[in-house]
Amino acid sequence: MKLIFEKGNINRRLDLMPECDVPVVDVDERYKRKKEIRLPNVSETEISRHYTKLSKRTFGVNNGFYPLGSCTMKYNPKINDEIAKLPGFSDVHPLQPEHTVQGCLEVYKLAEEYLCEITGMDAMDFQPAAGAHGEFTGLKLIRAYHRDRNDTKRDKIIVPDSAHGTNPASAAMAGFTVINLPSTEEGFVDVDALRKVVGEDTAGFMLTNPNTIGLFEEHILEITSIIHEAGGLNYYDGANLNAIMGIARPGDMGFDVVHLNLHKTFSTPHGGGGPGSGPVGCKMHLTQYLPTPRIAEKDGMLTFEEKNGKSIGRVKDFYGNFLVVVRALTYMMTLGSEGLKNASENAVLNANYMLHMLKDTFDIPFGKGRCMHEFVISLEKLKKEKSVSALDFAKSLLDYEIHPPTMYFPLIVHEALMVEPTETETKETLDEVIAIYKELYDKAYTDPDSMHNSPATTPVGRPDEVAAARNPILRFF
């Protein structure tokens, strides 16, 4: 398909702005641009058709089943988007006087109340723009806490080897050294190994629970107290919160700080990669280190509090991805106490149903036939016997117009496919997908070549990624 730069005509343009009604001022030669800008010269019709064509080459949750493990691709309710478009939210300047933005601040205040109750935390801050940004912020809180207590030798963050890549990357970015903790054969945190690595240099421990293979860490209280007894803090990666809303809370499991992904659990759309929102919650003993400004209530008015000597400071411009928080609040209000629990229950039910229907066909190495909101299939046997890899299996699914599961994660499972159906899928869809998975499994034995060559029906086949990385072409001109 043509790029937008390959369409149009140099003399084509839209008439969008009026003539200048004040004296025209020209830029001094010293600052004047000489370099030409090659932007598209297209009509509105061409733009509309170009992007419509691109949208047809894009697969969203609205197109079909999207069980991307650890990403919680649930349906994105339209009312959320409609509310976010209200001018009262979308056309407000971030530096307006506080008394003119009481509604915006109320959104944050309400969202904080909801999320604190859901997670068992004492405060929630919305400045971080995405999950990884939240991790970075949360880890900075841990650092500030230890430093404030003159406990400066704590420079190590322990991360299980099954963790998301962002965990170690965020820890390193926040100035910590990362200790990788191997998992047990059952896929859990190795409690004995953990005991051995903790010490006076332990700053904290990062964990998602349910963990990345979709299992609840049963020894969670023991794990978090090992860290606490060693003087460290526990960090909860909220990637998998969708399994436990209204059922269990990180705050009750011994976690001191959490980040959430509003674009996962709280139904805000992912936009092809972003924007997300990664609020950070913490217990009382960490609130004084939260980023500035903080939203506070003063004489019945909500305000931004700028000053706080112990704060880690600002982590971005202005305050948070506001319109994402508006969407998440709309969602939480819609579901309410019962609805959120109901969502988690059905997320876990859907995952268990799929797992149950697939477990006699596929190798599902962990969990003994049960899981929380997601489970991991290993195709190691298919790979060995028929050279059909997790990648081949995933690409074959594309021809059935369903999105593949997450591939090759977590790293501790060979030929992994991680399936997270979410609660917004019907039983009919699950049954259809189960049949397709089984059909493909058989095909791996009868016609493996067709799987190696898949997909056959997509606008393009498998791209040559090696060529792309060896000789990067990263722009058109």
The DSSP symbol for 287 reads G
Compute CA 286 distance to the chain's CA centroid, rounded to the nearest angstrom. 24
Binding-site size for another protein (CB under 8 A) equals: 204
Does position 9 interact with another protein (CB under 8 A)? The reply is no
Contact (Cβ atoms closer than 8 angstroms) between residue 396 and residue 473: no
Strands 202-207 and 156-160: parallel
Q: Please enumerate in sequence order all residues whose Cβ is within 8 A of that of 207, keeping only pairs 6 or more positions apart, or say none.
A: 160, 163, 189, 217, 223, 234, 235, 236, 237, 255
Which is nearest to 373 in space by CA: 169, 141, 213, 259? 213
Q: Please enumerate in sequence order all residues whose Cβ is within 8 A of that of 237, keeping only pairs 6 or more positions apart, or say none.
A: 131, 135, 163, 164, 167, 206, 207, 208, 258, 259
Residue from 288, 349, 381, 443 touching another protein (CB under 8 A): that is 349
Rounded CA gap, 461 and 466, in Å?
Answer: 15
Does position 55 interact with another protein (CB under 8 A)? The reply is yes
Judged by beta carbon, residue 298 or residue 470, the one nearer another protein is 470
Compute CA 339 distance to the chain's CA centroid, rounded to the nearest angstrom. 22
Q: Which of residues 217-256 bind another protein (CB under 8 A)?
A: 218, 220-221, 244-249, 252-253
Site string for another protein, 110-149 (x = CB under 8 A): x--xx--xx----------xxxxx-xx---x--x------
Rounded CA gap, 77 and 286, in Å?
Answer: 34
CB 266 to another protein: min, Å:
12
Judged by beta carbon, residue 436 or residue 445, the one nearer another protein is 436
Residue from 228, 285, 370, 414 touching another protein (CB under 8 A): that is 370
Stretch binding another protein (CB under 8 A), from 71-79, 184-192, 280-288, 377-385? 71-79
CB 76 to another protein: min, Å:
5
Residue from 357, 363, 436, 448 touching another protein (CB under 8 A): that is 357
Judged by beta carbon, residue 63 or residue 445, the one nearer another protein is 63
Rg of the chain over Cα atoms, rounded to whole angstroms, equals: 25
CB 435 to another protein: min, Å:
15
Q: Which of residues 452-471 bind another protein (CB under 8 A)?
A: 455, 458-470
Judged by beta carbon, residue 225 or residue 445, the one nearer another protein is 225
Contact (Cβ atoms closer than 8 angstroms) between residue 125 and residue 116: no
CB 371 to another protein: min, Å:
9
Residue from 86, 296, 301, 435 touching another protein (CB under 8 A): that is 86
CB 447 to another protein: min, Å:
18
Q: In b/e form, how buried is each residue of 293-321, taking b as 16+ CB within 10 angstroms? A: bbbeeeeeebbeeeebeebbeebeeebbb
Does position 98 interact with another protein (CB under 8 A)? The reply is no
Rounded CA gap, 470 and 444, in Å?
Answer: 31
CB 193 to another protein: min, Å:
18
Contact (Cβ atoms closer than 8 angstroms) between residue 171 and residue 178: yes
Q: Which of residues 261-300 bind another protein (CB under 8 A)?
A: 261, 263, 267, 269-276, 278, 291
Q: Which of residues 310-339 bind another protein (CB under 8 A)?
A: 312-324, 326, 329-330, 332-339
Strand runs labelled E in 360-429: 375-378, 406-407, 416-419
Q: Which of residues 377-436 bind another protein (CB under 8 A)?
A: 394-395, 398, 403-404, 407-409, 423-427
Does position 68 interact with another protein (CB under 8 A)? The reply is yes
Does position 156 interact with another protein (CB under 8 A)? The reply is no
What is the Cβ-side half-sphere exposure of residue 258, based on CA atoms within 13 angstroms? 31
Rounded CA gap, 103 and 113, in Å?
Answer: 15
Residue 160 host element (H or E) = strand 156-160
Compute CA 27 distance to the chain's CA centroid, rounded to the nearest angstrom. 44
Stretch binding another protein (CB under 8 A), from 229-237, 343-351, 412-420, 443-451? 343-351
- Phi, psi torsion values for 378, nearest 5 degrees: -110, 130
Judged by beta carbon, residue 58 or residue 387, the one nearer another protein is 58
Residue from 39, 150, 300, 307 touching another protein (CB under 8 A): that is 39
Does position 28 interact with another protein (CB under 8 A)? The reply is yes
The DSSP symbol for 318 reads S
Does position 182 interact with another protein (CB under 8 A)? The reply is no
**How many residues are given for the chain?**
477
Judged by beta carbon, residue 39 or residue 445, the one nearer another protein is 39
Judged by beta carbon, residue 259 or residue 386, the one nearer another protein is 259
